[in-house]
Amino acid sequence: MRLPEALEAVLTSALGIQIKSVQAVGGGDINQAAQITTNADQLFLKWHARSPDGMFTAEARGLELLRQAGTLRVPEVVAYQEHSEEAPAYMVLEWLERGRPEAGTYDELGRGLAQLHQVEASAHGLDHDNFIGRLPQYNQQETSWTHFYAEHRIRPQMEIARRSGKLTSAREKLIERLLDKLPNLLPADNPPASLLHGDLWSGNVMTLAGGQPAIIDPAVYYGHREVEIAFTELFGGFRPQFYEAYNAIHRLDKGYEERRSLYQLYPLMVHMNLFGGGYTGSVDSILRRYAGS
């Protein structure tokens, strides 16, 4: 594999390295990715020629917040740059060597996530906006979780769906009805604003040598921790040991099972807007459940 010539030149200059070899690796649905071997080390590189402005900057800030919490392994950011006339946007991370899950891998992941959720802020949101996938994620800080979830999670996805033609009149009516009902569906007592990975599914968890879990590709903000747990139960979920270890440290509140699908609505709307397909049926099913037919 060869890197774009302009990207290789920028990396060589910015990092003061010599790139000896490049090996393509899986980089998700958005970016191109590679393992680069330099004269000094191995590194992980991902790049995108037409990424949204600020995407890698926001990701770097999110990774640093998670690293500062110190509860789970997070790759160190070596360098990043938004796209320019000279080169595509890129991010360089330390190379993490993959291993295989061992007996304690999911216990360690559950404990680490529970400890991460014990890192709290005075408001829901974040001091900057970021991205979930390639879609914008708006993080205006709010003291009310219900208001935050309605106005900065569900409504923006509704507007994205409107612009892309995915918002049928029936779907719009259900979303508006749901937003009106949210104060009666979410906890009456404002929940703590916990530090969240924000995009935690199995594809964003790596198992390293020795079975240690690591988390990657975040969409960080502070919010109700149940949103994160509900997200982990989508797209295959995690092993039972993960949830047992989590609850041993930071037990979920009564009523989570009733709120779970409501909290899964946000990532499913994101996937509907990114990929369409069967996600529209899942979104509509949740809307009908909570807002009526």
**Which residue type does 276 have?**
G
User: Is 180 designated active site?
Assistant: no
- The SS3 of residue 93 is strand
Residue 155: C-alpha distances to residues 1, 68, 111, 173, 179 (Å) = 42, 31, 33, 12, 8
Residue 120 to residue 221: CA distance in whole angstroms: 10
Which residue in the block uniquely carries the two structure tokens 């000896």? 20
Residue 63: C-alpha distances to residues 72, 81, 215, 222, 278 (Å) = 11, 15, 9, 14, 31
Task: Please state, as a whole number, how many other Cβ atoms lie within 10 Å of the Cβ of residue 6.
Answer: 14
Q: Which of 199, 217, 253, 284 is catalytic?
A: 199
* Contact indicator for 45, 92 with CB cutoff of 8 Å: yes
* Beta-sheet strand order (sheet of 120-121): 120-121, 193-196, 221-223
Residues with a catalytic annotation lie at 199
